Amino acid sequence: MATSVPVTLPNGLTYEQPTGLFINNEFIPSSDGELIASINPSTEEVIAEVHAASIEDIDKAVISSRKAFKEVWKNYSIDGISRLLHKLADLFERDREILTSIEAADSGKPQISNASGDIDECVLQFRYYAGWADKRGGTVAEATSDKLGYIVHEPHGVCGQIIPWNYPLAMASWKIGPAIAAGNVIIIKLAENTPLSMLYVGKLIVEAGFPPGVINIVAGHGKIAGNAIATHPGIDKVAFTGSTLTGKSVMAAAAQTLKNVTLECGGKSPMIVFDDADIDQAVKWGHWGIMYNMGQNCSSTSRILIQDTIYDKFVDALVKYTKETYSVGDVYDATKHHGPVISKVQFDKILGYVESGKEQGATLAFGGKAPYEKGYFIEPTIFSDVTDEMKIWKEEIFGPVVCLSKFSTEEEALYRANDTTYGLGSAIFSADISRCLRVSRELDAGTVWINSSNDTSHRIPFGGFKMSGIGSELGQYGLDNYTLKKAIHVNIGSKL
């Protein structure tokens, strides 16, 4: 059965697309022959069909990974690990045009304004964690004439990683970088909607020189392949990014073998705009914080609380700015900054939320429609006069829909911002730095942006409070997810 097909993308680029399961540095067919169709959300047409991993295929991947860890990787040169990550970064830079073109077709990301930035992020992640590969050592806790006590940081071994469809390459890099730098081997399960770009990366992994089995990549259905990864006794740790609902399922499944679990889940992040804020900047950041990536961002600041004295001014300014930057269309057109949402399911769900907002009495200030007959395009959408009991205020929409509401006092803003089961991101806009620091301490969120929104950094940890997740990714803290701490007590002279 074929494990690659020639593909010509809508921008004219032709390349060979791997479609098999990438196990042991080879593309192989699935054991049961099941395929998943990858659909271009701009055209609603099939790009390619890829092999879907069965439980038996996950077993193959685990056998490959365990063999690689035990026989090769566990004692691999730390300098060699660093060089491999740098080489992978080099190859991402070299193949930027191919990777961004695939990502644009497969996920609906505008190639220049969106997918290109994801490649930059991947390169930064790989280079950053390449620098950490020889620094994971440990610490000395006690050193006396009688005793030496020290702690070493060891890899878990085989790590299962389940990545989402909204950032196929970027989210993979968030997990590959620290896991590999910490000395683990990995099995990555791709989202059903967006398998193509990471399967192409399989070729780059071979070219970079990674030993077989160190990085295995499989497409597959969550209920089959994802569940098999979460429950498999041969997998030592699971890292998941996706919805809170699925995160609960992963955690429950992993509990069967008491796996170490990292979860980065959903959000309904607030942005608070005080009356002394720079309104022009607050509007621009507010637009970016929800509309980037078509709102398909777990930390999107989708609830904006505006102080009542500037509320009308802010609403008018946001609508005006959105109209001026309104550019929905061809993802290969550099002048377009807003592509389609990922799928028909997501398209219908988002438009359902739009109807709910209107029915419950919110004011549709802008957008809310599908501008084209073909493709899953939705206009940037702004609801004003939203109240806390409305469905669009409480639930994660995961689309280009922002909810605006007014507040009077700092205490009210904080209460309403925190009145959610989520706790991923948050933002504050004010010229008063004392107030910003005070409010940031009171917000129940893993990240607080002051006078910005969703400007993450590969050096700074990212993680959620409450039902937005467990653990942090990125930065030095991201390495903690992938290491075990072993205490070693050396008796030098003490006698019983």
Helix, strand or coil for residue 205? helix
373 is catalytic: no
Query: Mutual orientation of helices 116-130 and 78-94 as an angle, nearest 10°?
Result: 160
Q: What's the CA gap between 426 and 113, in Å, rounded?
A: 24
298 is catalytic: yes
Q: What is the largest CA-CA distance in the chain?
A: 83
The strand ranges marked E within 168-322 are 185-190, 215-219, 237-241, 260-264, 270-273, 303-307
Among the listed residues 201, 256, 229, the one whose alpha carbon sits nearest the alpha carbon of residue 54: 229
Amino acid type, 82? S
For 327, 389, 426, 428, the CA distances from 307, given in Å and listed in that order, are: 29, 19, 16, 12
Catalytic residue among 103, 264, 396, 473: 264
DSSP 155-201: E-SEEEEE--SSSHHHHHHHHHHHHHHTT-EEEEEEPTT--HHHHHH
Helix, strand or coil for residue 169? helix
268: tokens are: 């309904």
Q: What's the CA gap between 108 and 375, in Å, rounded?
A: 10
Pairing between β-strand 185-190 and β-strand 138-143 as defined by DSSP bridges: unpaired
Which positions ≥6 away from 409 have C-beta within 8 Å?
Answer: none
Q: What's the CA gap between 283 and 322, in Å, rounded?
A: 9
Gap between the terminal Cα atoms of the chain = 68
User: Do residues 85 and 177 make contact, with C-beta atoms less than 8 angstroms apart?
Assistant: yes
CA contacts within 13 A on the Cβ side of 349: 13
Catalytic residue among 122, 159, 265, 298: 298
Q: What's the CA gap between 162 and 263, in Å, rounded?
A: 10
User: Do residues 193 and 242 make contact, with C-beta atoms less than 8 angstroms apart?
Assistant: no
Q: Which residues are the active-site residues?
A: 264, 298
